[in-house]
Every structure is written in C-alpha cells, then in structure tokens.
Amino acid sequence: MGTGFIVKREITKNVMGFEPIHERICKILLKGKYHNITLINIHAPTEEKGDDVKEQFYAELQQVQEKVPKHDLLIILGDCNAKIGREKAYQKVTSKHTLHDTTNGNGELVCEYATVNDMVVASTFFQHTKIHKGTYISPDNLTLNQIDRVLVNKRKKTFIQDVRTLRGPKCDWTIFWSK
C-alpha cells in the first residue's frame, strides 16, 4: 500500500515539490499560471477500520492541509473508501451526480471534512455514464463502486472542469511515490 502521483513528463518542469507524509498521505506542489496547485493524495482507512484509526487519519490530513498556503488551489484526491449518496443533508458539499443512493460511514466523514474545511466533493458535480463514475469493480465484476473522491476549495471549484474515471490510461509518466 502507498500513495503517490504519476505526472506526465511535460508537466514535471512545473513540479515545485513532493512530500511523502506517510503511506496514506502525500503531497505535490505544482506551479500554475495564476496560482500554485497543491494536490494531496490520500488512501483513507476502509469502512471496517475502527473509529480511532479513521479519526487519526483525518486529523493527520487536517494537519497537512493547514500547512497549504491559502492562495493555492487545493485539491484532495484519492481512495477515500467513501460512498456518497444523494441525501439532502450533504447537498452543500455534493451534487447529484453520484453512483450511490445512500452514503456510507466513510462518505459521512468525507462530507464532514469538506464542510469543516469549506470544500466541495467535485467528483459528484459532473454527469457521466455509470462506467465513468465507478472507481472500483469487484473481482467478480458484479459490484461497481465510486469510492475515490476529489475535493476542492469551495471558492475555487470553478477551476475544476471535469472529474471522471479514465479506463486504460497511457503510461508516459514520471512517478512520485510514497511507501
């Protein structure tokens, strides 16, 4: 297990820094035209893990986020193990374009984190076919879940033009990896 970034070779010149926090969190800083872009890649504990493990993970994520300059475009992305549904309780941070009807416990944690940090779950804002929403398919091909998420500062959400799952990406990349 680990988190990391795969960056297209032509973008590597814009990488200003990479920081592996630990195996579940890493951060990369990119030079943007008007704003620097901080991407935090996460691999949240699964639904079965205890509340103490999840609380510690989100506390560590909060510490990493608090070190990000306020003027940066902040994007938190990765495997949140979070199903987010269409409940009205979460509509301030989500939209209706999600694969699931109901939110699981990890989804609630993601929505709470987004609310506290004035963020939105951008991966629910764009209408796509089911295959471009699903981020995990079971080995027997019977279960499709949308558990990977993209969160962005609410005030800069218009910078995000689309979020969807890509199938079969090209592999002409540079890798920044944390183990």
Domain ranges (residues) in the chain: 3-178
Distance CA 124, CA 105 (A): 17
The DSSP bridge pattern shows strands 73-79 and 148-153 to be antiparallel
Per-residue tens of pLDDT for the chain, all 179 residues: 688 888 889 999 999 999 999 999 999 999 998 889 999 999 999 889 999 999 999 999 999 999 999 999 999 998 888 877 887 887 787 777 676 677 789 889 999 999 999 999 887 665 666 666 566 666 777 766 666 778 888 887 767 766 666 555 544 444 444 44
Reading the block at residue 116, the tokens are 């506290």
Cβ pair 22, 9 in contact under 8 A:
no
Q: State the first-to-last Cα distance of the chain, in angstroms, to the nearest integer.
A: 7
> What is the signed CA dihedral for 78, 52, 64, 116, rounded to 10 degrees?
80
Look up residue 83 and give its two tokens: 């199903």
pTM: 0.83
Closest among 4, 159, 148, 150 to 73, alpha carbons compared: 159
Which fold does the domain 3-178 belong to in CATH? Deoxyribonuclease I; Chain A (3.60.10)
Report which DSSP code applies to 43. E
SS3 of residue 26 by DSSP = strand
